[in-house]
Structure 1
Amino acid sequence: MLYPGEELTEAAGYPALVRFESGRPGLPVVVFVTGGGVLGRIAYGPPEGRAADFLCHWLHEDGFPSLVLSYPVDSGGVFDTAFPQFSITDWAEQSGEIIARYMDRNGLPANAIVLGWSMAGRIAEPLHAALRRKGKGIELFVAMAAASALPHTLPGLDHLKPAASGLAAIRGAYLDWLLHCLADQNGAAGHVVLDAEAFTREMTGDFPVGLAASAMRYRDGAFVPDPAGDAIEVGTAQYRAFPPLALMTHASALDARHALTDRSTWGVYITQQLCEGLVFSQPDKLAALPGQKWALLVEHVGHAALRLSATLPGNHMFSLGEKGARRTVQTLKRLRQTAADVAGEISHLMD
């Protein structure tokens, strides 16, 4: 049931579906971490699909090596065992181990660019921590219409129910919504980027509830709330431990919560990470800043989250379709440069 180029591997004690494509020497690997109940195949498409309709094609066109990771879900006949207690910590450790493995195996730079789509926004801090323990890191983490580490921002996920496997069932929860988003992207593309039936069969499935932005855990056959444990796992208050951040979102009413709140929720973490990493960590320099530099610092930090955010056409699946996929990579390159500029400007003011 594997697509060409895919590999089943094991890391941190769990299986994972992986697809790697090499790139131009010296460029960092772009890692796509998929969201809730959807395999990473959404980043490169099925064998019969048009490659140009998918993200990885355009990453390759620009020379970036790409690594797409899928944690174990009940989907497409890929995984033969369910892991209902698979946690955010397991996800981060597994992802970090695989990323480091491919960096070492292919002589890649030690800092990755990570695209965290949808639920995968929650992996930003624990993945960065896992990579740092291996001597690696994240150059830039880009949230793509993604859940942040803030609690209770996606209350619709509270109604997830366990399937017989113990995994969170997406049918009757949000599969219909995903298919609505897919139909909208297909319409915008003017052709069928992904067939709804094939997408459902080969790319979606039930998933471990501990990964969802609902602070629920699987225990004794039931889903129980654990907001305190969830906050620890996703690093809710560990601002300094987050990697550099940027945001891609959209303005579609099909995904109103992300369209309306992504800039504010991620703005908190973009601003706090910059301040903790570049300003508050140097209290002596901060106290000695002359008035003019202080005013410039206030201006730069105040505008940083806006500069590091982009609103793209489309919906929750805005990277699907040739225009969407190409635009996503173009936006990634711009945000990467902007992140370097913002960090450089703030560091210069602090000198």
Structure 2
Amino acid sequence: MKLLTALLVAGSFALAAPAVAEPQLYKGEEALQAAGYPTVAWFKKGDADKPLVVFAPGGHHMARISYGGHDGAKPEDFLAHWLGEKGYSFLGLSYPIDTKAFETKHPDFTARAWGKQVAEVAAAKIKENGLSNKVVLIAWSMGGKVVQPGYQAMTEAGLDVEAAVSFAATPGTPGLISLVSKMKMAESGYADRKNIYGGWLKQLEKNNADNGGRTIIPADVFQADYVGDIPIGLQGYGEVYRDGKFVVDLQAQAEDYGAFAYEAYPLVVILEDGDVADARHALADRANWTMFNTNTVMARFITANKVKLADLEPAKWERLVSLTRGLDERLAIPVGGNHFFFVGEAGAKKAADAIDQGLTKAREVEAELNDILGLKAQ
């Protein structure tokens, strides 16, 4: 202690300032602030006349799952490459997650804030790169919670959301998964579900085997750089972060997700996987999203435009009935595979083809609705 005091007095000893962690990013990634929170963005420009494709990742994942970037990664194994081959501009956007890509923790992050992030960054990239104002929103897995907040925020920002695409995504309705599961809180205040990472790794191993046996994402890299703890409010199990605790508030969560705001939803194209390892999505996604699509037709196309259905010509009424009852077939595209069906060269290329096909389907449905109802293009 005497020696330390002497050194301090003599000025020959100085306490080092606490180190501030810098975000550890992959090549091409940007650490940005949007909607008052940090985000990590990866953007690749395509044809200025084609819509910008925005990828919203699932639970505990960074958007890297859509574009890769780790040492040894093969671009062809990831969705962004194949969408680029088709001329689409691509934006992968990660919400705050407990990985080395983020300097700070934000357990209070909500789906509303996520939607605003998507809108702000998409609008900025469109302006910076002279793109059209058209957007396609891809929602993977838990990313289904950002479909309504993202659509509403982007629409309010003047963007034209042509469609959303469900990549084995769960809609933002509390109870579709569970209302009894309780999440473990990490010291960060985030939700900790590391116990399920093993199941994800097994599915990725299956994709390795389906792509010549080579490793697409090494397990240690996946766990260190691709996944981490996340804000509880995004999970969809009814819990929200409040006063430093996880509390069940179904009403708050439903409002955060816009669970019943059908007047502010896009049409959703459903890419259906088919592996038993992802049974809930393989069995339920089409029915879940068709319920939203049908109510979107009612709320956004009919009620919001004050269409008097009784005034429709009988032939148009029959067309409307047929179209609405057939939405599950018209807007669903089976792609097979597991929860990571779009990871690996074969699946990534197939998913890009399905997005192209799905966007055409959504445009056709919307054009037919506008014709039947006598509406201008929305």
Q: Do the two structures share a fold, i.e. TM-score over 0.5?
A: yes
Matched, 1:223 2:232: no
- Tell me the TM-score normalized by structure 2: 0.89
Residue 224 of structure 1, CA deviation: 0.9
Mapped partners of 2:204, 2:225: distance in 1 = 14
Q: Secondary structure at the match of 2:192?
A: coil
1:91-133 Cα shifts (integer Å, max 9, x gaps): 1112211111111111112121110111111111111111222
Runs of 4+ in 1 over 6 A off after TM superposition: none
Which residue of structure 1 lines up, in the alignment, with residue 85 of structure 2?
Answer: 61
Matches within 5 A, 1:37-48: 37-45=60-68, 46-48=70-72
The SS at the match of 1:83 is coil
Q: Percent identity?
A: 34
Q: Corresponding residue for 2:290?
A: 267
> Which position in structure 2 is the counterpart of 1:74?
98
The answer to whether the 8 Å contact 2:270/2:289 transfers is yes
Q: Which residue of the partner structure matches residue 123 of structure 1?
A: 146
Shift of the alpha carbon at 1:285? 4.5
Alignment partner, residue 292 of structure 1: 315
Aligned residues of 2:79 and 2:351 also touching (Cα < 8 A): yes
Secondary structure in structure 2 of the residue aligned to 1:86:
coil
1:245 is aligned to 2:253: no
Task: Indicate yes or no: 2:355 matched with 1:316.
Answer: no
Matched, 1:187 2:209: yes
Find out whether 1:143 has 2:166 as its counterpart: yes
Q: Please give the per-residue CA displacement for 1:177-229, whole angstroms capped at 9, x wherever unaligned.
A: 22122122222222211111111111110000111111211233331111000
Please report the RMSD computed on the Cα atoms of aligned residues, expressed in angstroms: 1.6
**Separation in structure 2 between the aligned mates of residue 131 and residue 294 of structure 1, nearest angstrom:** 32
Cα distance, 1:18 vs. partner? 0.5
Structure 1 CA distance for aligned equivalents of residues 334 and 293 of structure 2 = 16
Deviates more, 1:132-141 or 1:11-20: 132-141
What secondary structure sits across from 1:151 in the alignment?
Answer: coil
Aligned with 2:38: secondary structure? strand
Give 1:321's aligned amino acid: G
Distance (Å, rounded) in 2 between the aligned partners of 1:170 and 1:186: 24
1:160 to 176, 179, 183: 183
- Bigger shift: residues 303-312 or 34-43: 303-312
Question: How much has 1:276 moved relative to structure 2?
Answer: 2.4
1:202 maps to which residue? Answer: 225
Q: Is 1:346 paired with 2:366?
A: no
Structure 1 range deviating more: 151-160 or 174-183: 151-160
Question: Compared with structure 1, are the counterparts of its residues 148 and 221 closer, same or farther at alpha carbon in structure 2 (3 Å cutoff)?
Answer: same
Once the 2 structures are TM-superposed, how far is the Cα of residue 339 of structure 1 from its aligned partner?
0.8
**98, 101, 108: which is aligned to 2:131?**
108
1:169 matched residue in structure 2: 192
CA-CA distance at 1:280 after TM superposition: 3.6
**2:96 touches 2:106 (CA, 8 Å); kept in 1?**
yes
Paired residue for 2:21? none
Query: Which letter maps to 1:240?
Result: E
Q: Which runs of 5+ in 2 are unaligned?
A: 1-23
Alpha-carbon distance in structure 2 between the residues aligned to 1:215 and 1:180:
28
Structure 1 residues without counterparts, runs of 5 or longer: none
TM norm structure 1: 0.95
Is it true that 1:236 corresponds to 2:265 in the alignment?
A: no
- Counterparts of 1:67 and 1:157, CA distance in 2: 35
Whole-angstrom distance in 1 between the partners of 2:344 and 2:180: 27
Task: Please say if 1:52 is aligned against 2:76.
Answer: yes
- Distance in 2 separating the partners of 1:98 and 1:14: 12
**1:283 Cα deviation from its structure 2 partner:** 4.8
Equivalent in the alignment of 1:329 = 352
* Alpha carbons 2:116, 2:150 under 8 Å: kept: yes
Counterparts of 1:132 and 1:42, CA distance in 2: 26
How many pairs were matched up? 349
Distance in 1 (CA, whole Å) between partners of 2:275 and 2:56 is 22
| Distance apart, 1:302 and its partner CA | 0.7
Distance of 1:72 and 1:253 partners within structure 2: 30
| Residues 1:210 and 1:292: Cα distance change in structure 2 (over 3 Å) | same
**SS of residue in 1 equivalent to 2:137:** strand
What's 1:86 paired with? 109
Q: 1:57 to 1:284 in 2, by over 3 A?
A: closer
In structure 2, distance between residues paired with 1:316 and 1:234: 22
